[in-house]
Chain A
Amino acid sequence: MSNSNSITKTFTIINELGLHARPAMLLVQAISRLECSVNIEKDGFEADAKSIMGVLTLAAEQNSHIIVRAEGPDAEKAINAIEKLVEEKFGED
């Protein structure tokens, strides 16, 4: 799904400990300087992906799904950065 500069993509968290403090920090750092807004949705709750507490509050455990929605000129960069982190298990395991 994408129009001009809004991209939505669903990811499965595969690292064993889920989206805990360190992965959340890496995720926030990866996108915080990009020129786009990024929201992460889990179980119907939506957090600002640029907020550490927001991302942590989602408590996305292993094998859970998150829906990432990026909007703005850097939307594609944001999605790619998050995809890389998720696939690389945030450098864990």
Chain B
Amino acid sequence: MNEERVFMPNPVPVSRLLEWSDLDLRVVAGESGLTRKIERPELNRPALEMAGFFEKWQCDRIQILGTGEIAYLEAHRNDKAVAHNIEHIFSSPPPCVIITGNLPIFDEIISLANQYGVSIFVSSHHTTIFTKRLWDHLEKELSPYVVKRGVLMDVFNLGVLITGPSSIGKSESALELMNKGHTFVADDLILIKGGGLSKLTGTGRSPVPYHMEIRGIGIIDVNRMYGPRVVRMEKQLDLVVELEDWDILKEYERLGIESKTTKILGIDLPYYKIPVKPGRNVSTIVEVAVLDHKLKESGVRMAKEFDENLIKAMQKHEGR
């Protein structure tokens, strides 16, 4: 496959947090900070910094104040050193500060937020559930991504990226797969996001989704033609199938004892290279590749088991 060009997404403005209704956020101070940018998905609970330990301070992270931090602030309300540390936090400045669990906020903090233009939000959710939801949003928005050419399909619930040179029949095999009830995600430029975790998500890049070109017919709207049952906006990517012109001089996988992988965004994905020639039913082979991968995932190694059984059978014969 081509060398990988990794794109970094644009930073997210702090005001975007208010659009994510599941976070249940309201601004209580520092409204001028809503235009600040969030560049990293990571979060920080600044308890150590409040206590004066700034050695690992990363001011580009959203700061989350939960029960512990608020209790600490309350207990040290008249402590000059702590007040100094809090000012250090706000003057850095972080993208924003979020208080969870509807906890109370002191006037001193409000005035620091206004002075340094750092928005303070309050959420009704408790810290654990809040940080999980916020992380999900930020990870999605701020993950690096790559663009691959191919067709992205959901086959037996697994996301399959079908790649290969132009006019090898990627779109046609996608049509066949839809006829068999599988789901179409996107054709041609596929945007693949990594999430820092071991998961990749693929989606179309076209501003007008669910279209593909079929030679001899033209551009078709898959959603209209096959209905919403067989389309979806995005899909976790599970394996890559590369189609190529059958080259008689080349040796293809014959046994399937070894599993091959290809790397996308540093993550190893199962990889099948399928030679194509006229009359070969590519969609069925894609289905079989997915089923083979599913069986391998659940510990079944068909080729290896066959080989073991064959060896056993031969050993029985030896005794005769």
Contact = CB atoms under 8 A, between A and B. Distances in A.
Contacts of A53: 171, 187-188, 206, 211-213, 219
Interface residues of B, number: 17
Contacts of A14: none
A79 interface: no
B180 to A, nearest CB: 22
Contacts of B40: none
A72 interface: no
Contacts of B70: none
A57 interface: yes
A52 interface: yes
Interface in B182-198: 187-189
A71 B56 CA distance: 49
B7 interface: yes
A50 B147 CA distance: 17
A-side binding surface: helix, strand, loop or mixed? mixed
A31 to B, nearest CB: 12
Contacts of B5: 46
Nearest to B204: A57
Nearest to A47: B189
B204 to A, nearest CB: 8
B147 A46 contact: yes
B134 to A, nearest CB: 27
Given A21-B219, A45-B147, A51 B166 contact: yes
Contacts of B147: 45-46
Contacts of B188: 47, 51, 53-54, 57
Interface string B148-176: 01000000000000000010000100000
Closest 4 CB pairs of A and B: A53-B188, A57-B206, A52-B213, A54-B188
